[in-house]
Structures are given as structure tokens and as C-alpha cells.
Chains A and B, each alone.
Chain A
Amino acid sequence: MSIALAFLAQTLRIAVPYLFAAAGGVLAERSGIISLTLEGFMLGGAFSAMLGSYYSGNPWVGVLAGIAGGLVLGLVHAVATIRYKADQVVSGIAINLLAVGLTRYFLKLVFDSSSNSPRVAGFSAGTSTTALVAGLLHNPLIPLGLVALPVVAWLMYRTPFGLRVRAVGEHPEAAATVGVSVARVRYIAVALSGALAALGGAYLSLDQHQFTDGMSAGRGFIALAAIIFGRWDPMRAALACLFFAAAETLQIQLQAMQAIPSQFVQMIPYVLTIVALVGVVGRAVPPAALGRE
């Protein structure tokens, strides 16, 4: 495989968890609920997907279990922020801590391990990575991840539900006056966001065939940055995800050259995020009702 193709393939693979998480995040944020939760959703999804696959021996059951795990965490966030009007940032941070704590607790409980689950059935079993497409199709979650944001874009801009999501995120009172249930739209959006982000986590654990404590490793925050970078638009967020993944690929490739201290190479994606935030989207306007009741 040529260098360019290898770069592209790696970028796409790295992007998949970001794309899933950003797809979920865009939905929730556009409905007015802040998505600081993506990291926790991913971790929970990774763990429950592993668990599903472990007990069934079938990775697709793992995928479903991952979705279920994400839905549950999403609903907890939704109940806290919508029903009980908890501060969304705070609830998000709590969800993240909760996901860390619960996955650790049950990892210990079920597998008597503080780090890793046993190996479970996953997706990337084959050997050939000679061709870009074949390599990417190995894991069915990769093509799914690549279409996640386009599907969300369609949902958002073409369907009644999407119109309501956008209305509710901009001006909930206006939506309420025409009989749209703000709470219901948000419940659905946040639950979906949990499920989608959890798929990103499921990708991580099923691709690795095991769960590792803390394996989401900050990817949820990068996905959130991608959403902001993409100005809350699904397609632009997708581009931002690819951009961040490319930065990471670049980081990996640059490290191999060993030209600069690895600490500085490690900074690249984060510094790029800040630069992007400052340069490109400094004044990006979030959905008007984001973070409000």
C-alpha cells in the first residue's frame, strides 16, 4: 500500500471513534444539551460491548450491548438534566466519573482485574490489509462510523425529528408553543447520543477484542472539540474529526522519524485543537439554548 493510502487508512481508522462520538454529540448539543458526557458514554459503551461479546461469544451481541450501555448512561444524563434540571456541565462530569467508576468496579467484580478483560470475540480477525477498502471493511463498525455523521446530517436537516431538535436547541419556548414536547425531543436526542458515542467505545473494545481500564483515553473530549470546531454542523464536524485523526496520524508518523522530542509530538493534536479554536472558530455561535433549561 502506498504511503498516502496508508496515511488515509490510518486516519480513517483513528477517526471512527471520533465520528461516532461526534455524531452523538451533535445531536445532543443541537437539542440544547451539553455533551461533556461523550467520554463517559464511550467508556461505558466499550465496557458493555465487551461484556456482551464475552457472554455471547458474538461481537454483534457486543454491539447491541454497547448501544444498550450508552442508552442507559444517556438516559441517566437526560433524567438529571431534563427532569431534574441539573447543570449540564456538572452532570456531564459526573457521568464521566460514574462511567470510570462503574467500569472499574465491574471489571474487578467480574474478571478480578484492575486493568483488562479477557480476550473476547471482536471484529478484526482477518489478515489482509493490502487494500484500503478491504482493510477498512474488516471491521463493520468502520463503515458504520464513516456514515454516522452523514446520517445524522440527514436526520437533522431532512426529517421532522431533526427540525424539532434544531428548534428545541435554539428556542425551546417557541417549539413548546406549537405543541412540540421539548423534554421528549431532548430525551430522545440525548439517549441517541449515548448510543452513538457508545458505538465509538464499542469500536475500541471490539477492535481490540478486550476492554482496558480507561481505554477511551480522552477521545470523547476530542470529539467535543470537533463538534465545536465544526460549528455544530454534522458534516463540518465530520471533517473536523478527520482533521484531528489526520493530526494524530501525522503525530504517529512524525514520532517514527524521531526528529523532535516525543513530548512535543504528543502535544500536536491538542495544540492544533487550541489553535483551531482560536483561529478558525473563535466566535462560533453555539445553539442558542445550549446549556439552558
Chain B
Amino acid sequence: HPAPPVPAASGNGLDIGIVFDVGGRGDKSFNDGAYRGGERAEHELGARVHFIEPGEGSDREAGLRLLAAEHMKLVIGVGFIFTDDLTALANEYPNTEFAGVDYALKLDSAGNVVPPPPNLAALKFREEQGSFLVGALAALVGKSKKLGFVGGMDIPLIHKFEAGYRAGVNYVCPDCTVIAQYAGVTPEAFRNPGRGKELALSQYQSGVNVIFHASGSTGLGVFEAARQTGTLAIGVDADQYSEAPGHVLTSMVKGVDAVVFDQIKKVRDGTFHGGVQEYGLAENGVGYIYDAHNRALIPDSVHARVEAIRAGIIAGRIAVPSTR
């Protein structure tokens, strides 16, 4: 059995394992969200959480396997990239619970969803819904017919953000256009803030006033550009207000922390169950920030309008696309 970089689970404790995606701790968004959820579970639930930051390739599976072999109560893989490894391991360790953040569902040849194993919770966020709301917000606040989007790596997951955002912009402003740019086509594209800043500056210079980024550390450059030009940017995954106070209109938050905490709690309470669990606006899994920090940036009328749209989406009156 694998040698333990992780102390063996005591058997009666609430031992939890979390494996991070590339970027790892300190990415100021996605992984940090999972970390916060884990930390909260340590404080509030007395859980013992073991974090692993794998490298690339087979290390991801190795990380999961290490935790499963040490009899963690729950093993969480943070990122769609873990999908296949989680599926295989859940089958191999039927007595361990697994959860996958952004788990990608497989379709069979008939186009039906292949259900994940019973001990695996597929946690899916409806990023397009949150993106739709910040798109509408951006168009309403932006005072410009042009809106900006900066993506990290040019991949379907990020297209989902772009699609929702576009739809949201056009919902409130049919003649607005969205300039969407991607930082690159390799994973480096998520950690090139220099490129992010230049992309943002060129968008701002072409008349854009608000940019939504979904680009990991590259987005930190977008905030820099917003600061420098006195314009607005929209954060992603976590509340990124502090990256450029006064220039972060809002953030499209993904409740990774809450969902991670929630899954751990369910394991403690014995209510954990596998299967697909979608977190959209209705479940408060995604949303946008509206608090003391940014209230001044958002007129009440706009806030009201966005809230109405939110209700519309939850009620199913507004359809949100998830692909470009």
C-alpha cells in the first residue's frame, strides 16, 4: 500500500481528503474555495482534513488513491479533470465516499447521462446562471454598448462562463456586444497575469467599461488593468473584491466552499448520498456578490432588476444557455 504522506485515518474521526486542481492553494479562487470549506469543517465539525496538491498526469489519481487507501471517510477531487479517476476509484473502493467538484457527466451513445457510482457525488455548478446575472449587471451598469470577457485557457468549461455572460448581457441589452478573449490554449493561460492585463487594457481602450474574467491567476492582471484605468472588473469563483477595491463590480461566486463543507457535514450526519447534485441559483450554489463593499457601485434599480432576473431563472421563465 502507498506510503502515507497522510497520517492514517483513526477510524472514528471525521477524516477527509481533498485533492486540488492545478493552481493549488493560493489561486485566490477555486482551490482556495475548497480549502476554506475544508477549514470550516475542521473548526465547526471537528473534521481532520488532509490536502494534497498533485502535479500533473498520473499524480492526480495517485493523490486520490493515497487518500482512499488511508480510509478517509470522504475523498474530494476539486476540478473536472478528476472525473475519470474518481469514477474508477469509487468503483474500486465502494466503502469510501467520493465527491467531485465540477464532475463532468458522461453521455452514452444514445445521449443519456451515465449515472456516477452510488458512492460518488457529482457536484455540478451552473456557472452559466451566475454568469448570466453578472452579464446583466455589467450591461446595466456599464454605460457602454461593449462588454468584455477574458477567459483563461480556451476550453469548454470556460465557454460555459462566456455563454451565460453573453446571454445575460444580451437579455438586458440586445444591441450590446461582448468582446471575448482567451489568454491561451495551454494550462499556462491560467497563470499569465501579464497577458491578462494587456487583454483587459485593450478591451478597456476599445470602449469596454466592465470585464468579466474566468481565467484563474491571469484575471489578477484584469484587476490591475481595472485599477489602472479606473474601470470595473468582475471576479470569479470567490469574492475577489479585495484584489482591486473599488474596481470590482461584483464577483460571480461559485459556492465551492459551502458545497465542500456541506458534503463533509453530510458524511458526518450519515446523510451523504451519491449521484448528480446540481448547484444553481436556486440552490445558492452560484450567485453574485452584493454587499457593503460594492453596494455603492450598483444602483438600487439595477440591483432590483438583477434580482428579478434571478427569480426568473429560478422559476424557469428565463432559459440560460451553457454553450457558445
Contacts and interface: CB of A to CB of B under 8 A. Distances in A.
Direct touch of chains A and B (CB < 8 A): yes
B154 to A, nearest CB: 5
B217 A115 contact: yes
Interface in B191-236: 191-195, 197-199, 201-203, 205-206, 216-217, 220-221, 224, 227-230
Given A10-B198, A111-B26, A113-B26, A208 B191 contact: no
Contacts of A255: 181-182, 199
B184 interface: yes
A207 B193 CA distance: 10
B159 to A, nearest CB: 11
A14 to B, nearest CB: 6
B42 interface: no
Interface in A4-53: 6, 10, 13-14, 17
A213 B25 CA distance: 12
Interface in A140-186: none
B243 interface: yes
A209 B227 CA distance: 11
Given A212-B220, A258-B180, A204 B194 contact: yes
Contact of A6 (B205, B216, B224): B205
A1 B205 contact: yes
Interface string A245-261: 00011001101101000
A214 interface: yes
Given A17-B194, A252-B199, A116 B206 contact: no
Contact of A14 (B198, B205, B221, B230): B198
Contacts of A218: 188
A292 interface: no
A116 B228 contact: no
Given A127-B228, A258-B180, A207 B194 contact: yes
A115 B193 contact: no
B179 interface: yes
A129 interface: yes
Interface in B20-35: 20, 23-28
Contacts of B217: 115-116, 212-213
Contacts of A248: 198
A239 interface: no
Interface string A114-128: 111001000011110
Contacts of B227: 124-125
Nearest to B194: A204
B296 interface: no
Given A10-B202, A262-B154, A208 B24 contact: no
Interface in A84-126: 107, 111-116, 119, 124-126
A252 B182 CA distance: 9
A58 interface: no
A72 interface: no
Given A114-B25, A266-B185, A215 B202 contact: no
A129 B26 contact: no
A217 interface: yes
A48 to B, nearest CB: 17
B201 A119 contact: no
B53 interface: yes
11 contacts: A1-B205, A10-B201, A111-B26, A124-B224, A127-B229, A204-B194, A217-B192, A255-B182, A262-B182, A263-B154, A266-B184
Interface of A: 1, 6, 10, 13-14, 17, 107, 111-116, 119, 124-127, 129, 138, 204, 207-210, 212-215, 217-219, 248-249, 252-253, 255-256, 258, 262-263, 266
